[in-house]
A = this chain, B = another copy of it.
């Protein structure tokens, strides 16, 4: 027998009478302790995936000038009216306007200017005729352009402010930055962007059974996979993971390590040590002083033992050591906290209604979050449960793109019925 403290049969066991919170109550409670990080100014080209710390308002109209939508000739539409009577109209070409160039020659009667797509339309012109509808003639060194058809006023010109007026709200605080946002910010010369600092999340594993991923397998032991999975999930959520050494098996040493991490990092996440076993050190840690426990039981499967606590405003999440439960616990509780610290508005996973793709028999008095895959069949969303969905199962995590919500009141769910699904991050990308 390993050198452990013997079990005392007399020791009262509070572990069995945990008060369970509903998932949404537990989520709301935990995220209420998460606050936006400090604002920092970063280069636009480094801002992918970051979250805007303030609203962005258009500093000028866009386009900032009346813009030609075609390569062709800027004309006064009135000059081409005779085309309607079958006449051909010839106008003298007085300027040649490439993009970025402002013509100083106004368009007056009988005149036209060659203009490129994107160039500023000259004064006096109110339409642009496309190049393909014109012909050229040179006479005594003067170039003339000929038209067979009239044109309506405003044609092929994008007016000043067509997309945005000065002062229009263009991007809201809390928006995650992607290609479209970068395009807008660049357009307005916002080359430094105010974003919220990314929360730094310390990750601890617990358990003497864990081997490092670089170690060879030993009998009875498993490799520490949850830590690396969590690091990946933290990065997706927008946080910065820091992998710590495993939590020691000694309660006072463990407390010291966890409290140190809570001082150094914005959030601390642990995996393992929260069930009702003898070495469930995290369960003991959150109830034995020093930390304010928020909850240590949630009415959900997997991950009913998911635990959260705070110390001086910093959140500690103690997730199950079962891979499936750890994965789900992160998505339901830790990810929303990270997103709130990033200033995002949508904290929780996107929820859809879908059709169940196959029967699901396991029912429980707790809400079940079943790993599943999503398909769109003839415009309808179909969610199919994974064949292995036990809390302890690791292999189906990679194949899942949603969590199918099976409420406790459901006495088995049948193929074809409507279910709620939570969409996992990164689906279809």
Contacts and interface: CB of A to CB of B under 8 A. Distances in A.
Contacts of A163: 388, 393-395
Interface in A162-188: 163-164, 170-171, 178-188
Interface in A65-89: 65, 67, 69, 71
Q: Which of A64, A180, A243, A379 has the most CB of B within 10 A?
A: A180
Nearest to A158: B392
A70 to B, nearest CB: 9
A95 B1 contact: yes
B395 A379 contact: no
Chain A facing B: main interface SS? loop
Interface stretch (A114-122, A308-316, A362-370): A114-122
Contacts of A7: 96, 114, 136, 143
A222 B352 CA distance: 41
Interface in A1-15: 1-2, 4, 6-7, 9
Interface of A: 1-2, 4, 6-7, 9, 16, 44-45, 48, 60, 62-65, 67, 69, 71, 95-96, 98-103, 105, 114, 116-120, 131-132, 136-138, 143, 158, 163-164, 170-171, 178-191, 207-211, 213-217, 219-233, 235-236, 243, 275-279, 321-323, 327, 350, 352-355, 376, 378-381, 388, 390, 392-395, 397-400, 418, 423, 425-429
Given A187-B223, A381-B381, 16 more contacts: A1-B105, A7-B114, A9-B137, A100-B207, A101-B208, A102-B220, A119-B220, A132-B276, A170-B395, A178-B426, A179-B327, A183-B323, A183-B327, A186-B228, A186-B229, A426-B426
